[in-house]
Structure 1
Amino acid sequence: MDTAVLVPRCLLTVLFTVVAVHGLWHALPADSGWRGRGDRFLHAAMAVAMAVMPWGWGRRLPVGAMTVFFVAAALWFPLVAIGRSGVRVNAIVGRSPHVAGMAAMVWMLHAPHHAAVRGDGNPTGASLPTAGHFAASEHVTGSAVTGQAVTASLTAFLLGCAMWSLTRPMPPLRAVVGGAGAGAAVEPYRQVREGAMALGTAVMLVMPH
């Protein structure tokens, strides 16, 4: 395999593996709350899937089951933001990067089909183009443009989320004991994990896999 292809794949696999381990490590403590644990377990599951996707054997993953899982995961993040007092818009907006990440995962599971259709072309010795052929070609072109627009939108949004997460000031590494700030620094590297996840997902969206 070409080094120019192998190195990015290895780096992405290492990145997502570290993200998965970090998420699971912080999801295990019982005092992290059911919402927090659910968030971290879902991110860890996505990171594991993303770690194997760049490789050939990653394409053997069950697409149907993964689609259902990640669609449900995308719905989880806004739904758990609905409290007893009703819909909290700020909370839902704050969780939109997680929704976009899960949506990107679903999109990547199905986007290669668009590429496969675009790359078919006319077989050697095929008959002359017909009206139906031109109609089909026009449909494929429209699908390709739509696919590129979806990919570009998800990539731009995730890159913005990554930059926002990775450039914010880090919280203090010491946990605050007692007082109103208790627990504020329990997971000081959370924003780094989420930023790395968003950045890796954005890269995966635009690279062939």
Structure 2
Amino acid sequence: MGAASVGPEGRKVRCAKCGHTWQQYRVPERAGAETRMMDDEATELRMPTRDTRPIGGDARGRGRGGRRLPVGWIAFGVVVAGIVAGGLLARAAIVDAWPPSARLYALVGLPVDPPGAGLKLQGVRSEHRVENGAALLIVEGRIVNDSDRERAVPKLRAVTLDAEKKPLKSWTIEPSQTGLLPGEVAIFQSAESDPGAAAEVMISFEGE
């Protein structure tokens, strides 16, 4: 049945096989186009949502082939940096404990005051004695802090020389104090046995 025979108001029709009757209306000419449009919209609604994550990435932002630095290595770097910083800030104390390290600091452009800087030796004297049949060399004196700040007091090195200025014997002397404020004084004394034919004694700060 054509759309023109139905009319704008529709018409009553009857099925030739079963005798059923109904009111038939004209089908709009654009019904097919509208149906297709609805089908397209439904198809678009059924399309899956696109994944907006970067290709090859993950939720934490790590790219394909990317590697995170292990926490252990980060901690190791922090420790090393702390050791280096501590070595720079406390280099004076390190040199006092190990005088040869002063040369290492000097090589990298960080000179340190030599052992005994700001200190003076005063009243140094030596004397030969015999006690209980044993020959002794008594050495004594004072250490004065002649600077305007606190100074560490290093150990002393004693060296005996013969009449021809040749070294005979050397030993270490412990001062009475390991640190001196400005103007303070420390003393030292040593009794060395079997000094030999010592004609002279040289006293210096160890590491000079």
TM-score (norm 1): 0.17
Instruction: Considering fraction of residues, name the structure with more helix.
Output: 1
TM-score (norm 2): 0.17
Instruction: Considering fraction of residues, name the structure with more strand.
Output: 2
Q: Which has the higher contact order (CA 8 A, sep 6+)?
A: 1
Q: Which is higher, the Rg of structure 1 or of structure 2? A: 2
